[in-house]
């Protein structure tokens, strides 16, 4: 029997940072999946809905949520940044999860998954079984986003505070703010070893126009202290949401579950 997941909201911040974070949680009997979505995405995308169904089929808890200014969560997108989205992830993890978890992060969510895991380790938590990263946009505020824009666009962003650009993933333009770029500087991971304390598996499309395969390979070189693997999908794009991509994702998650 298909059981609907439980929906909830938590209130965070104050003033311009006040937001209600929407959460959807499916109860399970053992380990859980904790989903961290990408920039400008929400918790109703193809990948996360497939994982929710996967959790139902295998008795796994599944927690998904929308960041500040995304989807069903409130908040001023122009005020949002990596620090606040990380706060969202930490608050949802603490409120909605119980027992061992597999963090699954897509694009920007891959960066946030590593930052969340870092936060948990610093506080002595040892309940992350593994991390799955889908086209992870680690350090995107320095390594990826600025490279998409011309000198004139970057100057406009600095002067006005934001720019709007067409997107291949939405009818509406994507907004990028100077605050996003500036705030991201305090969360950079490249340049020193990344210790996760658990297995990490990266899935990367070789035809990805947004996060190049070389970026995933560079990340792998930073994960030398733990068991880390990279699966390259020769014809895969950034979304990696085709049925065969989703099957690969599910197989990887199963491999990380306790036997």
Q: What is the DSSP string of 47-96?
A: HHHHHHHHHHHHT-EEEEE--TTSTT--S-GGG--HHHHHHHHHHHHHHH
| Element containing residue 207 per DSSP (H, E) | none
150 within a domain of the structure (yes/no) = no
In CATH, what number is assigned to the domain containing residue 112? 3.40.50.1820
Structural domain includes residue 249: yes
State in Å, rounded, how far the first CA of the chain is from the last one: 25
Strands 101-106 and 32-36: parallel
Whole-number pLDDT of residue 36: 98
259 SS3 class:
coil
Helix (H) or strand (E) holding 21: strand 19-26
Q: Which residues contact 42 (CB under 8 A, 6 or more apart)?
A: 66, 70, 71, 72
Q: For the chain, give the mean pLDDT.
A: 95
Q: How many domains does the chain have?
A: 1
Percent of the chain residues past pLDDT 70, beyond the cut: 98
At 124-137, the pLDDT tens digits run 988 999 999 999 99
% residues pLDDT > 90 (the chain):
92
Contact 67, 38 (CB under 8 A): no
Q: Nearest 5°: phi and psi at 235?
A: -105, 15
What are the φ/ψ torsions at residue 81 (nearest 5 degrees)? -165, 180
What tens digit of pLDDT does each residue of 101-129 get? 999 999 999 999 999 999 999 999 889 99
What's the rounded Cα separation, in Å, for the pair 227 and 102?
Answer: 15
Residue 234 lies in a domain: yes
Quick check: helix, strand or coil at residue 115? helix
Give the pLDDT confidence score for residue 168 in this predicted structure. Answer: 82
Give residue 1's pLDDT band: very low, low, confident or very high (50, 70, 90).
Answer: very low
Residue 202 has what pLDDT?
98
Asked whether 133 and 142 are in contact (CB, 8 A), the reply is: no
The token pair that represents 218 in the structure block? 């560079």
163 found inside a domain: no
Helix/strand/coil for 244: helix
Please check whether residue 167 lies inside any domain of the structure.
no
Please give the residue range of the domain that contains residue 13.
6-139+190-256
User: What is d(CA 89, CA 112) in angstroms, rounded to the nearest whole number?
Assistant: 8
Residue 184 lies in a domain: no
pTM for this structure?
0.96
- For residue 144, tell me if it sits in a domain: no
Which residues is 132 bridged to in the sheet? Answer: 104, 201
Residue 171 lies in a domain: no
> Residue 4: pLDDT band by 50, 70, 90 thresholds?
low
Which pLDDT does position 3 carry in this prediction? 62
User: Which H helix or E strand runs over 112?
Assistant: helix 108-122
* Residue 96 φ/ψ, nearest 5 degrees: -110, -5
Residue 15, C-beta contacts closer than 8 angstroms, at least 6 positions apart:
none
Identify the pLDDT of residue 126: 85
């Amino acid at each position: 029997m298909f059981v609907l997941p439980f929906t909830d909201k938590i209130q965070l911040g104050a003033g311009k940072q006040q937001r209600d974070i929407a959460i959807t949680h499916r109860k399970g009997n053992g380990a859980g999946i904790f989903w961290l979505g990408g920039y400008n995405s929400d918790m109703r995308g193809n990948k996360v809905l497939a994982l929710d169904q996967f959790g139902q089929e295998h008795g796994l808890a599944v927690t998904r949520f929308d960041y500040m200014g995304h989807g069903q969560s409130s908040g001023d997108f122009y005020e949002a940044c990596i620090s606040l989205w990380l706060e969202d992830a930490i608050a949802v993890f603490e409120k909605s999860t119980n027992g061992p978890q597999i963090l699954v992060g897509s694009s920007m969510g891959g960066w946030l998954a590593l930052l969340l895991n870092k936060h948990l380790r610093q506080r002595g938590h040892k309940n992350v079984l593994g991390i799955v990263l889908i086209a992870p946009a680690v350090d995107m505020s320095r390594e990826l986003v600025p490279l998409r824009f011309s000198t004139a666009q970057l100057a406009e962003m600095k002067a006005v505070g934001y720019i709007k650009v067409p997107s291949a993933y939405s009818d509406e333009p994507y907004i990028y703010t100077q605050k996003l770029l500036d705030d991201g500087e305090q969360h950079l991971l490249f340049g020193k070893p990344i210790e996760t304390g658990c297995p990490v598996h990266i899935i990367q499309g070789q035809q990805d126009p947004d996060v190049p395969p070389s970026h995933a390979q560079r990340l792998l070189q930073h994960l030398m202290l733990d068991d880390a693997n990279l699966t390259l999908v020769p014809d895969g794009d950034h979304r990696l949401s085709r049925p065969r991509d989703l099957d690969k994702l599910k197989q990887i998650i199963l491999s990380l579950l306790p036997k």
